[in-house]
Amino acid sequence: MSLSIGSASVTNLYSEHQRWLKGWIQRRVGCSDEAADLAQDTFIRVIQRQRKEADFTIGYPRTYLRTVAHGLLIDHFRRRKVEQAYLEALQQLPHEVVIDLQEREIILETLQRLDKMLDALPPPVRETFLLSRVDGLTYQQIAVQIGVSERTVKRYMQQAYVQCLALML
Amino acid sequence: MSRSDALTKNQRVLLEEAAEWLLKLDEAPLSHVDQENLHRWRRQSPEHERIWQTACALNRDLSLLPSGIAKPVLQRPRHSRRTLLKCVVGAGLALPIGWFAVDKKTFAQYRTATGERLELTLSDGTKMTLNTATAIDTEPGRQIRLYTGEVFIRTGTADRTLSVITAQGTVQAVKSDFTVRCLPQETRISVIQGSVKAGPRRLTTEQTRWVSRGETCDFTENAIGLIHPLPTNRVAWLRDQLIAEEMPLRELVEELNRYRRGIIHCEETIGDLKVSGVFQLNNPDQALEVLAQLLNLKLTHYTDYWVLLKAA
């Protein structure tokens, strides 16, 4: 079965598969509202892609929807993880003030973006990058700490920067 | 899902070059020669500049987060994507009742570094220019919170009041052009068009005062200072200029310090020398050299950051 996606058939796709997709997502996130949002986002992605590519066709609608939804779920879970770690970090801080919701959103978004980029890095490169940019160690200090030469530290940093920038372009 | 394979060969080369610059910046502040080289590199093509802006965005993201938060979050143990999926399924999230935080300006929505300037247009048409080392947040109801630095605001034509909140109080404006600056214990207002209302935090509404076009005043949290005519050079920074008219050297150096990373110090004995001239704020080091020549002073660089001006 092959489905060519025009605006009319997105409506078809939606009416035929929305309930199923929401159910599939709900079994994974546990919450009906979240599942409905994520299903919605999945269809939005499909429409966006169809707008970009004129001859966009889908072979197996459900397989396709599941793949797109899976990507969104990964981001969704990452967000939760990051949020959880963020809240724990906040509680460890010495003093209390107020962060308004908007600030919180900005911080969380930034954390999520960085977290996603860091995932793409090989572990030693990631560790080096964090020691440098979060802990503020010099390359020389990092070399001592992880037991490699300073040249290797530089090579790791170079790789980390190139990969992060590539993901941001 | 790396996108690096979708890059063109040219982009890849540029990314590697940009990364080289970032490595250099990590190791030490750029020398003057390197700063020039970097500028030249950026000017080579729009793609060079775009990639550099991306690098700046990465640096901004990294410096936006205080390490107290970034460290535990980003350095937490990582799992493969599959385990990530498994272990979070069904995990609820409890929001703590109290919020805990850090210096607000670190998290401000819009910030400029020393020597930077930023122009913004808000959705209601309000135009803003953030001067050097400034941090602001925009809040619902046309409120702007100024944490530090200086901002120029052109409110646009809407009839609704726009408020700027500082540590000392609130400045309210309708259809006006004005600047608000944070001084150590005071807020300074300078009005270019229209008029604005100065409202120190501890005064009642009846005690607020209007400051009109061509006027300036400073207020603390419980008093409004005298209203003076606006010196013409007050908003020259919008054109990247510092205009001195018979300005004591001490004050001029203090102004230049706002725009330059590091410390410029002038010897006590020459602090009262009067200076007149126009200096470019986008190149404070050059301004310093011009200044030294003008007054026949000696300029000593202890480091790139620390400069001493003394009698020759």
Give the number of domains in chain B.
3
SS3 assignment, position B180: strand
Q: What CA–CA distance (Å, rounded) separates A2 from A62? A: 11
Domain boundary among B179, B210, B229: B229
Do B114 and B96 belong together in one domain? no
Do B121 and B220 belong together in one domain? yes
Question: B259 with B284: CB under 8 angstroms?
Answer: yes
Average per-residue pLDDT for chain B: 83
Identify whether B235 is part of a domain: no
Say what the ipTM of the complex is.
0.72
- A77 to B84: CB separation less than 8 angstroms, yes or no: yes
Give the number of domains in chain A.
1
Q: What is the pLDDT of residues B256-311, one digit of tens each?
A: 999 988 788 888 889 899 888 888 898 888 889 888 888 889 988 877 777 888 88
> Which residue, among B71, B100, B138, would best test binding to A if mutated, counting the most A CBs under 10 Å from its CB?
B100
> What is the mean pLDDT of the segment spanning B32-49?
90
pLDDT value at position B213? Answer: 93
3-state secondary structure B184-239: CCCEEEEEEECEEEEEECCCCHHHCEEEECCEEEEECCCCECCCEECCCCCCHHHH
pLDDT value at position B10? Answer: 87
- B93 to A80: CB separation less than 8 angstroms, yes or no: yes
Chain A residues lying within 8 Å of B10, measured CB to CB: none
Identify whether A149 is part of a domain: yes
CATH number of the domain encompassing residue A153? 1.10.10
DSSP secondary structure string for all residues of B164-177:
EE-SSEEEEESS-E
Chain B residues lying within 8 Å of A100, measured CB to CB: 139
* Phi, psi of B228, deg, nearest 5: -115, 160
Identify whether A159 is part of a domain: yes
Q: What CA–CA distance (Å, rounded) separates B291 from A19? A: 73
How close, in Å, is residue B144 to chain A by CA atoms? 13
Identify whether A93 is part of a domain: no
Report the residue of chain B nearest A81, measured CA to CA: B88
How close, in Å, is residue A8 to chain B by CA atoms? 31
Identify whether A46 is part of a domain: no
pLDDT tops 60 at residue B81: no
Q: What percent of chain B lies above the pLDDT cut of 90?
A: 34
Q: What is the pLDDT of residues A72-122, one digit of tens each?
A: 888 888 888 888 888 877 777 666 545 666 777 778 888 888 888 888 888
Domain residues for A159?
120-169
- B19 to A115: CB separation less than 8 angstroms, yes or no: no
Q: Is B226 left (phi over 0), alpha (psi -120 to 50) or beta?
A: beta
- B107 to A85: CB separation less than 8 angstroms, yes or no: no
Identify whether A144 is part of a domain: yes
Identify whether B234 is part of a domain: no
Identify whether A25 is part of a domain: no
Domain residues for B280?
240-311
**Nearest-CB residue to A110 (from B64, B72, B104):** B64
CATH number of the domain encompassing residue B279? 3.55.50.30
- A111 to B73: CB separation less than 8 angstroms, yes or no: yes
Report the residue of chain A nearest B102, measured CA to CA: A97
Q: What percent of chain B lies above the pLDDT cut of 70?
A: 87
Question: B164 with B153: CB under 8 angstroms?
Answer: yes
Q: What is the pLDDT of residues B108-149, one digit of tens each?
A: 678 888 888 888 888 788 899 999 989 888 888 889 999 889
**Nearest-CB residue to A110 (from B12, B19, B65):** B65
Identify whether B80 is part of a domain: yes
Do B187 and B125 belong together in one domain? yes
- A102 to B18: CB separation less than 8 angstroms, yes or no: no
- A86 to B65: CB separation less than 8 angstroms, yes or no: no
**Nearest-CB residue to B16 (from A29, A130, A162):** A162
Identify whether A165 is part of a domain: yes
Identify whether A128 is part of a domain: yes
